[in-house]
């Protein structure tokens, strides 16, 4: 019996589900308990990435990661990095609170803010995952836009005042968008919060809904500090922040969520602007 035969015999008799593949994901051997995961595939058959909870072993070089696997790995690494920042700050605050003469009340308040940052990030990650797995129905009927936009702006009014940003909502009362009220609220909250966070003092954020030919537009524009041309195309990437906003306390997922919701409803999103000339984000929904 050759070494290869012994290896196959060892795997075949394993109690746990074990699958052995070559570098091109062709089946070499499998334990009896893994047979149900392979639907009777014979040796030499190519095996997909979904093999349940089986242990997968490769003979020779590992196959290249699929684009999805690379994206998932990158996203996981980014989430870990983003969570590490508020947790590190929280640890420093807790250690500082034990020092003689420490202002414990102020440190506890800062600790609450760090916990809130971590919570917001986790909430956004979970919501984005919900969208991507299809468990959230984005487009379901049509929703009159103006009442929701006014409601969202009113809820963010205090935050806008603290940032010295004026909010202005306008549009036709009859205009609706192909989003559930909850999803429209998510889009509006993220777009308006983005302007409040980054536009700068003495800026105005204008939120409007309008018709343009057969399309419906939801536009959130501010006259603040704006972003560079190189940043415009990357604003909707997860965790991407323009240089002027790297110190921001945002989660870095807001605009990614906006893009996902709008495109899932059949629309498109575009960012316009320039450094020193504000930022305009246009959500377009074909009629």
Considering only 151-155, 234-238, 267-271, 277-281, which range has the smallest mean pLDDT?
Answer: 234-238
Q: Which parts of 35-103 fold into alpha helices (H)? A: 35-38, 67-97
Query: How does residue 126 score in pLDDT terms, banded at 50, 70 and 90?
Result: low
CA 87 to chain centre: 20
| All structural domains of the chain with their residue ranges | 3-59, 67-132, 143-285
146 Cβ contact partners less than 8 Å away, ≥ 6 residues apart: 169, 171, 172, 173, 175, 209
Q: Coil, strand, or helix at residue 47?
A: coil
Give yes or no for residue 246 having a pLDDT over 90. no
Answer with the residue of higher pLDDT: 165 or 65.
165
Q: Coil, strand, or helix at residue 173?
A: coil
pLDDT of residue 11: 66
Interval 112-135 mean pLDDT: 66
pLDDT of residue 204: 95
Q: Coil, strand, or helix at residue 111?
A: helix
Of 58, 49, 67, nearest to 19 by C-alpha is 58
Distances (CA, A) of 232 to 11, 165, 174, 223, 258: 53, 21, 31, 15, 15
Distance CA 151, CA 258 (A): 18
Second CATH level (architecture) for the domain 67-132: Orthogonal Bundle (1.10)
pTM of the model: 0.56
pLDDT tens digits, one per residue of 16-48: 777 777 766 777 778 777 777 777 677 777 776
Distance CA 222, CA 200 (A): 10
Contacts of 216-219 with CB under 8 Å at 24 or more apart are 216/145, 216/175, 216/176, 216/177, 216/178, 216/284, 216/285, 216/287, 217/282, 217/283, 217/284, 217/285, 218/145, 218/177, 218/187, 218/188, 218/282, 218/283, 218/285, 219/280, 219/281, 219/282, 219/283
Of 221, 143, 141, 205, nearest to 175 by C-alpha is 143
CATH 3.30.565.10 assigned to 143-285: yes
Answer with the residue of higher pLDDT: 21 or 127.
21
How is residue 220 annotated by DSSP?
E
pLDDT tens digits, one per residue of 145-204: 999 999 999 999 999 999 999 999 999 999 999 888 888 888 998 899 999 988 999 999
């Amino acid at each position: 019996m050759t070494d290869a035969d012994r290896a196959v015999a060892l795997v075949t008799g394993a109690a746990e589900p074990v699958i052995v593949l070559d570098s091109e994901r062709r089946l070499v051997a499998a334990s009896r308990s893994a047979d149900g995961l392979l639907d009777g595939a014979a040796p030499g058959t190519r095996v997909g990435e979904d093999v349940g909870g089986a242990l997968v072993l490769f003979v020779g070089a590992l196959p290249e990661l699929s684009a999805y696997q690379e994206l998932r790995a990158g996203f996981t690494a980014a989430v870990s990095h983003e969570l590490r920042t508020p947790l590190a700050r929280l640890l420093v605050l807790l250690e500082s609170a034990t020092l003689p003469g420490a202002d414990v009340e102020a440190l506890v308040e800062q600790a609450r803010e760090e916990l809130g940052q971590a919570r917001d990030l986790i909430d956004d990650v979970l919501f984005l995952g919900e969208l991507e797995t299809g468990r959230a129905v984005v487009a379901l009927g049509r929703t009159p836009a103006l009442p929701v936009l006014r409601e969202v702006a009113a809820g963010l009014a205090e935050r806008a005042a603290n940032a010295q940003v004026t909010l202005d909502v306008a549009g036709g009362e009859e205009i609706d968008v192909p989003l559930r009220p909850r999803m429209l609220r998510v889009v509006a909250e993220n777009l308006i919060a983005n302007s409040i966070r980054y536009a700068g003092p003495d800026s105005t954020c204008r939120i409007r809904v309008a018709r343009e030919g057969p399309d419906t537009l939801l536009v959130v524009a501010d006259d603040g500090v704006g972003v560079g041309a190189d940043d415009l195309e990357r604003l909707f990437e997860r965790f991407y922040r323009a240089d002027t906003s790297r110190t921001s306390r945002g989660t870095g997922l807001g605009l990614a969520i906006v893009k996902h919701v709008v495109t899932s409803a059949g629309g498109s999103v575009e960012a316009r602007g320039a450094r020193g000339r504000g930022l305009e984000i246009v959500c377009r929904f074909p009629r």
